[in-house]
Amino acid sequence: MSQPTFETAVRTQGVNMFFGEGESRVTALKQADFDARRGELIMLVGPSGCGKTTLLSVIAGTLTPQAGTVEVFGQRLDGLGQEDLTTFRRKNLGFVFQSFNLIPTLTSLENVTVPLLIQGVSQREAEERARIVFEKVGLKGREDSRPNSLSGGQQQRVAIARALVHEPPLLICDEPTSALDKDTGAQIMEMIRTLSRAPNRCVVVVTHDQRIFRFADRIAEMEDGRIRRVVDDPRQLDTTHL
Amino acid sequence: MYRLALNMLFGDRAKLAMLLCGLAFSALLMAQQTSVFFGIMSWTYTPIYNIRSTIWVSDPMVEQANDAKPMRDTELGKVRSVDGVSWAAPLHMSILQARMTDGNFKLITMVGIDADTFAGAPAQLSQGRIEELRLPNTVIIDEWGAQLMGRTVVGPDGKTKTVPLKPGDTFEINDIEARIVGICKVRRAFTGGPFVYTTYDRAKAYNLEARRTLSFMLVEPRDGVSASQLCDRIERETALKAWTTDTVIWDWSDRSLAKNTFWWFWKNTGIPFSFGTAVALGLFVGIAISGQTFYSFVLENLKYFAAIKAMGAGMATIARMLLVQALTAGLIGFGLGAGMAQAIGRVMIEKGMPPFVMFPQIFWATLVLVLGISLVSAIIGIIKVSRVDAASVFRG
Ligand SMILES: Nc1ncnc2c1ncn2[C@@H]1O[C@H](COP(=O)(O)OP(=O)(O)OP(=O)(O)O)[C@@H](O)[C@H]1O
Ligand SMILES: [Mg+2]
């Protein structure tokens, strides 16, 4: 077991997570040990149902595991109450979802302001800051468009702007490209990689999509609720079962 | 965050329109049904409005304003001698048949008032003067009656129309001529036909069968004597029943003839029940519709509230957002609905005598109910969102 280094961003040890009781009990994570470093983009891969989303939720502080320790940027999440977890997410997290999860009744720019408004930033300042990020994702001119009038790739770019607008140290992406075609997926991954690059930021990407493995600094392979191994080069992976 | 909440609400025009329609419709239903109910019920004590007097005195067996049990004329002297009475005037009230010149019969409410004081005379005459009632065989009829009892003629264009009765026209009551000398503006009554005013003595003549004709006595207290005080005294000294004539529903006294009439009709006729059912139905449907519409709004946004929650918004923030949305929708819906109810009421009033009384209280009660409904929906929404797992944002 490796010792935590100065550059550790996320660290889970011996995390157990199961759902349901008795007969219908499903174990999603068993003794999951996972590390991610500051400044890296790490991918979580593995067959369907192996626990990727569950582990991501544990790291994000939206699920509390039954056992094990979870440490994110030096803060222990296991044992925190709902209120503290909420505060933790507000300050530290940016989310990118597979299904974008943009609020359809708000304009794109308004969607991007949400994390800032949650932090209590004034409407005006939030809009100013959102505009800057909006430009960075290449959507200048579409501020007032509703998400539904944008293409999938454009919607995911709005979502990236929303995930980064408050400059969170941890960016969490669950299958960010699987609702997109090949080229768009690659563009989105490129964008996540370049925009989220920061010495202190850690990006965790869950994916099935082998076409984007090349954007990862490291790849953690999961199997049956635990991390099987971590590799630096996608070619080291046995991808037949993914 | 509140602006964002409102933008979420206003962002989807179609859904907003449905939500507002639901809320407005229920507000309309509640305000409208209640107003019509009170309008109908206020018709039951129309005589008190049309025959103004501080106190009415009646036979002890009388239970309500339309229920005349005639007394002996000598009772008038007894009442006049009660300490505190400034004056007391006789009043006759009965339902009779009027025979029109074309031979048709119409029911009328005949009111005979004291020819010396004209106590109980209609407050407003649109044609003629009250003093002309002192001429032989004269009556004053209300506007609605003048229209109802008017002659049907075929105009030059071939269409039939009604020419209302006017001063100078005549009809017959029990074969005695009644010549119209005035037209008055009064309220429509729940029972009987139009109001036909004449003098107390002539009413006796028109009403051949009546053994006694003193239906009520109109009494005015002396300065410094309150109506209820004097009612007590009259009842103690004469064994008659004395009533006050306050009609303001939310603070009428126990002695109020209006109140007793209202409740008499409530207990003894099916009308209040069927209208009460309509009001209850209006409330129920209103609550159901607006609760349901807002609830479905919350359900549709549940996913997004879950995302906002995952992004680090506390439940307090989300609760406030939902409250802002619900109460804003409630206020707008109420405004639309109450406005429509008011407009419909105005049309009803313009079309004639309205069974429509919209108290400010009905307005406020509707507002409170609609906001209450919104509040309950918001609370259900808040509970719903609080149960939603922030982790669910990664699913689906
Ligand atoms: N809320 C839940 N209730 C019950 N079982 C759950 C729940 N969430 C996950 N599971 C179960 O836990 C296991 C791991 O699920 P998880 O979603 O983490 O897998 P995954 O690796 O993300 O799969 P996929 O690639 O299909 O998204 C699965 O067997 C799943 O059915
Ligand atoms: Mg998953």
Per DSSP, the residues of A63-109 read S--SEEEEEETTEE-TT--HHHHHHHHHHHEEEE-TT----TTS-HH
Indicate the range of A180-189, B194-203, B277-286 predicted with least confidence.
B277-286
pLDDT tens track for A151-160:
999 999 999 9
Strand, helix or coil at B95? strand
Closest ligand to B391 CA? 1
Among B246, B262, B293, the domain-final residue is B246
Same domain, B306 and B176: no
Same domain? For B199 and B68 the reply is yes
Q: Is residue B263 part of a domain?
A: no
- State the Cα torsion A15-A18-A21-A24 to the nearest 10°: -150
A239: exposed, middle or buried (Cβ count in 10 Å: 0-12, 13-18, 19+): exposed
Q: How many beta carbons lie within 10 A of that of residue B267, not counting itself? A: 10
Could you give the C-alpha distances from A5 to A58, A74, B66, B287, B307, in angstroms and in order? Answer: 21, 11, 96, 61, 33
Identify the bridge partners of residue A229 per DSSP, sorted by sequence position: A221
pLDDT value at A241 more than 80: no
Which ligand lies nearest the alpha carbon of A222? Answer: 1
Q: Which stretch of DSSP H or E encloses residue B32?
A: helix B13-44
| Cβ separation A95–B307 shorter than 8 A | yes
Q: How far is CA B189 from CA B44, B108, B227, B354, in A?
A: 6, 10, 25, 11
Domain presence at residue B191 = yes
Res A220: pLDDT? 95
Whether residues B201 and B73 share a domain: the answer is yes
CB contacts under 8 A, B 5-44 vs A, are 7-12
Task: Identify from A52, A91, A100, A105 which residue to disrupt to test chain B contact, counting B C-beta atoms within 10 A and taking the largest count.
Answer: A105
Q: Give B33's pLDDT tier (boundaries 50, 70, 90).
A: confident
Q: Would you call B393 and A95 a contact, using CB atoms and an 8 Å cutoff? A: yes
For B293-333, give the secondary structure using H, E and C: HHHHHHHHHHHHHHHHHHCCCCHHHHHHHHHHHHHHHHHHH
- Which residues of chain B from 315 to 344 reach within 8 Å of chain A, CB to CB? 317
Instruction: Quote the pLDDT of residue B191.
Output: 65
Residues in a beta bridge with B105:
B99
What is the percent of chain B where pLDDT is above 70? 97
Stretch among A30-44, A154-168, B205-219 having the lowest mean pLDDT: B205-219
Task: Provide the pLDDT for residue B353.
Answer: 53
Residue A1, in any domain of the structure: no
What are the angstrom distances between the C-alpha of B27 and each of A151, B6, B289? 41, 21, 10
CATH number at residue A170: 3.40.50.300
CA–CA distance from B197 to each of B92, B101, B184, B200, B351 (Å)? 10, 19, 9, 9, 24
pLDDT of res. A6: 56
**Domain span including residue A36:** 8-241
Would residue B335 count as lying in a domain? yes
Range of the domain at B75: 51-246
Pick from A65, A122, A129, A62: nearest CA to A97: A62
Q: List, for residues B247-273, the tens digit of each pLDDT value.
A: 777 777 888 888 888 888 888 888 777
CA gap B331, B2 in Å, rounded: 16
Strand order of the sheet with strand A8-19? A26-37, A8-19, A67-72, A75-76
Please say if the pLDDT value at position B292 is more than 90.
no
Residue A5 has pLDDT above 80, yes or no: no
Domains in chain A, number: 1
Claim to verify: residue B32 and residue B154 sit in the same structural domain: no
Question: Are both B27 and B86 inside the same structural domain?
Answer: no
Residue A2 is assigned to a structural domain of this protein: no
Domain assignment present for B265: no
Nearest CA to B291 out of B25, B8, B1 is that of B25
Where is average pLDDT lowest: A52-61, B136-145, B191-200? B191-200
| Mean pLDDT of the region B219-236 | 91
Q: Are B265 and B249 in contact (CB under 8 A)?
A: no
Residues A28/A41, Cβ–Cβ less than 8 Å:
no
Poorest-confidence range of A11-20, A56-65, B297-306? B297-306
What is the number of domains present in chain B? 2
pTM (two decimals) = 0.76
Q: Chain A contacts of B324, Cβ < 8 Å?
A: none
| B327 vs B156, more confident | B327
- Are the beta carbons of B178 and B97 closer than 8 angstroms? no
Chain CA centroid to CA A207, Å: 10
In a domain, A160, yes or no: yes
Report how far residue B117's alpha carbon sits from residue B82's, in angstroms, rounded to the nearest whole number: 19
Amino acid letter for position B165: L
Q: Identify from B8, B311, B328 which residue to disrupt to test chain A contact, counting A C-beta atoms within 10 A and taking the largest count.
A: B311
The one-letter amino acid code at B15 reads K
B3:A123 CB<8 A: yes
With residue B185 as reference, give the H or E element that holds it. strand B176-185
Helix (H, G, I), strand (E, B) or coil at A130: helix
For the Cβ of A54 lying below 6 angstroms from any atom of ligand 1, the answer is yes
Same structural domain, B241 and B132:
yes
The pLDDT tens digits for A131-147 are 999 999 999 999 999 99
Both B149 and B209 in one domain: the answer is: yes
pLDDT, tens digit, for every residue of A47-92?
999 999 999 999 999 999 999 999 999 999 988 998 999 999 999 9
Query: How confident is the model at residue A180, as a pLDDT?
Result: 87
Longest Cα separation, chain A: 55
Between A3 and A241, the more confident residue is A241
**Hey, what amino acid is at B118?**
F
A174 within a domain of the structure (yes/no): yes
CA angle in degrees (0–180, nearest 5) for B57-B59-B64: 75
Residue B259 lies in a domain: no
pLDDT at B368 over 70: yes
- Out of A50, A56, A204, A221, give the residue to mutate to test ligand 1, the one with the largest number of ligand atoms within 8 Å of its CB: A50
Instruction: Please answer whether residues A15 and A65 qualify as being in contact, where contact means their C-beta atoms are separated by less than 8 angstroms.
Output: yes
pLDDT digits (tens, 9 = 90+) for A186-202: 999 999 998 888 888 99
State the number of CA atoms in the 13 A half-sphere of A37 facing the CB.
14
In a domain, B257, yes or no: no
Query: Has residue A121 been placed in a domain?
Result: yes
pLDDT of residue B392: 81
**Angle, CA of B276, B278 and B280, to the nearest 5°:** 70
The arithmetic mean of pLDDT across residues A106-125, rounded, is: 94
**B208 shares a domain with B75:** yes
Are B287 and B315 within one domain?
A: yes
Whether the pLDDT of residue A42 is over 90: the answer is yes
CB A166 within 8 Å of CB A200? no
| DSSP secondary structure, B40-61, as one string | HHHHHTHHHHHS--SEEEE-TT
Burial A125-141, CB ≥16 within 10 A → b, else e:
ebbebbbebbebbebee
Is B235 in the same domain as B281? no
DSSP annotation of B256 reads B
Q: Cα(B77)–Cα(A136) distance, rounded to whole angstroms? A: 99
Does some domain include residue A3? Answer: no
| Angle CA B357–B358–B364, to nearest 5 | 155
> Are B23 and B126 part of one and the same domain?
no
Is B266 within the bounds of a domain? Answer: no
Question: What is residue A1's predicted lDDT score, i.e. its pLDDT?
Answer: 45
For residue A206, give the ligand 1 atom closest to its CA. Answer: 22
B384 in any annotated domain: yes
Distance between CA atoms of residues A214 and A207, nearest Å: 12
Cα B6 to Cα A34, A100, B44, B134, B315: the distances in Å are: 42, 22, 47, 69, 17
Coil, strand or helix at B190: coil
- Burial-class residue B274 by CB neighbours within 10 Å (0-12, 13-18, 19+): exposed
Residues B119 and B7 occupy one common structural domain: no
Position A4 confidence tier, pLDDT thresholds 50, 70, 90: very low
